[in-house]
Structure 1
């Protein structure tokens, strides 16, 4: 449906693009576009299902029959399953983004089951606001305990932010905590590297004993002037 709508051909599904009389010059163009939409529908079905619709006369007929036959909007078992998953789901090992996206996918499926025609648009808007508030609470309650601070901060906001704003704030807090935790402590040096460094120092000290040693030439008898200059510059920088 999204692909067909993006192509501007969804009128062939709703029936708004009704076929003109066969003698009408526009009939040929309508038939070509109708057949194109029919092929899009059938090609996106399983082979066994698509074969059933090959001889239908219009895209609208295929769409109505497929919707009536295979639609899950009246599938009570699936509706119950989605409700159970949403009740039990928690962040756990997921990142905040993964947790939020998982909830959003189930909420989108739930919206399909709860889709209905509202006589009063204002009542529908009020209902959507109530649902949004419930989803904000669900999202916040399922967060891990290390995000208690930002959760309490959002719950204390009057009025509550939107679901997307709440998610954005929690995600920023998660990123901040990761940066802070990543900066704690200095990187540890493997014990083998430390031992190797000590052995090298011991060997050099042994070789240098009683005679000057050049680190550049690796020979006794004189010192490395560049090394002495670097040591001097380091000491100057450390002076208050």
Structure 2
């Protein structure tokens, strides 16, 4: 722990109490938005490779975008199956913002 974070837990008397507070403070079990954020950061940070070729960068960016769109579409409710099929049939696959916009337009219709 960094000194700033550690100071928040010094007042707790036992390691068990410290652990419980740390677990409750930083757990992502019940926080879906935090879990999603961490997952996206993981996609960007785990594959921390340095590319210099513009073609390789474009290929990698397309791959990451496709994975995000697929996961987004997989989480949609069945009542928007039509837009899921429309997004998946679009060539090339739209980026995340376009897929979201298409989904919102269909949901509002």
Asked if 1:171 is matched to 2:97, the reply is no
Match for residue 134 of structure 1? 67
TM-score, normalising length from structure 1?
Answer: 0.30
TM-score, normalising length from structure 2?
Answer: 0.59
Match for residue 125 of structure 1? 58
Structure 2 residue runs without a partner (length 5+): 8-28
Change (3 A) 1:149 1:116: same
Change (3 A) 1:164 1:47: closer
State the Cα deviation string for residues 113-154 of structure 1 (Å, max 9, x = none).
222222423212211112211221221122111110111111
Asked if 1:116 is matched to 2:74, the reply is no
After TM superposition, the structure 1 = structure 2 runs for residues 43-192 of structure 1, keeping only pairs within 5 Å, are 46=4, 48=6, 103=36, 105-176=38-109
Q: Aligned partners of 1:164 and 1:102: how far apart in 2?
A: 20
Change (3 A) 1:103 1:172: farther
| Bigger radius of gyration | 1
Q: Aligned partners of 2:43 and 2:93: how far apart in 1?
A: 23
CA RMSD of aligned residues (A): 3.1
Q: Aligned partners of 2:37 and 2:69: how far apart in 1?
A: 11
The one of the two structures with greater contact order (alpha-carbon pairs below 8 A, sep at least 6) is 2
Give the number of the structure whose residues are more often helix, by fraction.
2
